[in-house]
Structure 1
Amino acid sequence: MKMFKSFDAIKDFDGVTNQVRKMTYIQGNSVPGANLRVLDKLIAARHQISQIMGYKTYVDADFAFKHGYIT
């Protein structure tokens, strides 16, 4: 005879929660193709901004901005 029947329900719910968490993680990380176009556009825009500002790369422009060389 089990002493706490409600405890089994909590254990089962926790298992479902972990399964849902795992499925969500897998689904979220297995569909990057839809984001590739967005990321390519972002990279191109950052490069264009850095060129307009007179920097070779976005990293150079970002570094200059963060360290107060430009405002």
Structure 2
Amino acid sequence: MTNPEVFSPAPAEPDGGLASLRGDCARMVPHWAVPERAESRPVSPSRIHGVSVPVRSARLLDAMSDYGD
């Protein structure tokens, strides 16, 4: 399936829009490198330290029902 809006040279909306964003992403695909293999190992909880969350961010998340309840 081909979407001609994806490759349009100028966005239809002044601020871009979804079609413009999709077109930008489609043009960037050749520039994105995919690692051959992602190595992820568990991290010991004792090594996780120094994480701080600004008070405003914590309040914002607390006020969101998806995160705070």
Same fold (TM over 0.5): no
Normalising by the residue count of structure 1, what TM-score does the alignment of the two structures yield? 0.22
In our comparison, the structure showing a higher alpha carbon Rg is 1
* Greater relative CO (CA pairs within 8 A, separation 6+): 2
Normalising by the residue count of structure 2, what TM-score does the alignment of the two structures yield? 0.22
Structure having the higher helix fraction is 1
